[in-house]
């Protein structure tokens, strides 16, 4: 066996950086190959296709991101935890120059329309899985907060609502690029969820 001339993980990082900045459809394997100092054919040999390469790169990102979220949601009052959650979310959307937006949201909207369209379906599941796991983290945080008397609504509904707002923030980020606005919306969402009538 001949050993590979490039580092698998390096390529994954380089590829995801491009996917994040330009989207999957907007990134060519030639771009990635040039950036990684690898021949295009080698990428096909190692990963199979652009979509498969993206999936691997995305899973990497998703794992890292979940860990960071878990950390943000792990300390302080419920309000502090939710604030840290939105902070991390928005900071993530606004990272890079120019800001790269949310890769999950972009990926979801880049999907083809057909129901079972090859790897599209696999990608959809990867995106949906991250969103679900984030929702679960938020719900757990709210449930814990409820046990401590900091929240008295429905944790599942509230978590879904909060995650829906973060997806909306990802979209508004692309529309206006106004980070202060995003933070205002986030603060308002926290108020709505925590100051609910009867709370």
Partner DNA sequence: CAAATTATTTGACACGACGTCAAGAATATG
Partner DNA sequence: CATATTCTTGACGTCGTGTCAAATAATTTG
- With CB under 5 to 8 Å by kind, the binding choice for 31 among DNA, a second copy, none is DNA
Task: Enter the DSSP assignment of 3.
Answer: P
End-to-end CA distance of the chain, in Å? 65
Burial class (CB in 10 A: 0-12, 13-18, 19+), 9: exposed
Q: Does 41 bind DNA (CB under 7 A)?
A: yes
- With CB under 5 to 8 Å by kind, the binding choice for 41 among DNA, a second copy, none is DNA
User: Would you call 77 helix, strand, or coil by DSSP?
Assistant: coil
Q: How many CA atoms lie within 13 A of 75 on its CB side?
A: 3
- Give, in order, the Cα–Cα distances in Å from 78 to each of 65, 67, 171: 20, 18, 26
Q: Does 38 bind DNA (CB under 7 A)?
A: yes
Q: Does 114 bind DNA (CB under 7 A)?
A: no
Q: Does 56 bind DNA (CB under 7 A)?
A: no
Pair 109, 167: CB distance under 8 Å = no
Q: Does 49 bind DNA (CB under 7 A)?
A: yes
Figure out which of the listed residues 17, 35, 51, 150 binds DNA, where binding follows CB under 7 A.
Answer: 51
Figure out which of the listed residues 9, 10, 13, 28 binds DNA, where binding follows CB under 7 A.
Answer: 28
Q: Does 5 bind DNA (CB under 7 A)?
A: yes
Select from 22-30, 81-89, 171-179, 183-191 the region that touches DNA (CB under 7 A): 22-30
* Closest to a second copy by CB, 6 or 79: 79
């Amino acid at each position: 066996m001949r050993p590979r001339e490039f580092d698998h993980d390096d390529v994954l990082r380089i590829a995801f950086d491009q996917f994040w900045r330009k989207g999957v459809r907007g990134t060519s394997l030639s771009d990635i190959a040039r950036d990684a100092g690898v021949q295009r054919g080698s990428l096909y040999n190692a990963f199979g296709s652009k979509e498969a390469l993206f999936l691997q790169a995305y899973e990497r990102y998703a794992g890292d991101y979940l860990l960071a979220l878990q950390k943000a949601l792990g300390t302080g009052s419920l309000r502090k935890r939710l604030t840290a959650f939105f902070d991390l979310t928005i900071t993530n959307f606004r990272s890079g120059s120019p800001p790269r937006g949310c890769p999950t949201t972009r990926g979801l909207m880049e999907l083809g329309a057909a129901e079972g369209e090859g790897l599209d379906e696999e990608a959809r599941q990867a995106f949906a899985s991250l969103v679900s796991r984030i929702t679960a983290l938020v719900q757990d945080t709210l449930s814990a907060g409820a046990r401590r008397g900091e929240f008295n609504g429905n944790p599942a509904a509230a978590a879904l609502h909060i995650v829906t707002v973060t997806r909306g923030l990802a979209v508004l980020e692309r529309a206006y690029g106004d980070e202060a606005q995003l933070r205002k919306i986030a603060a308002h969402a926290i108020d709505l969820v925590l100051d609910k009538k009867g709370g």
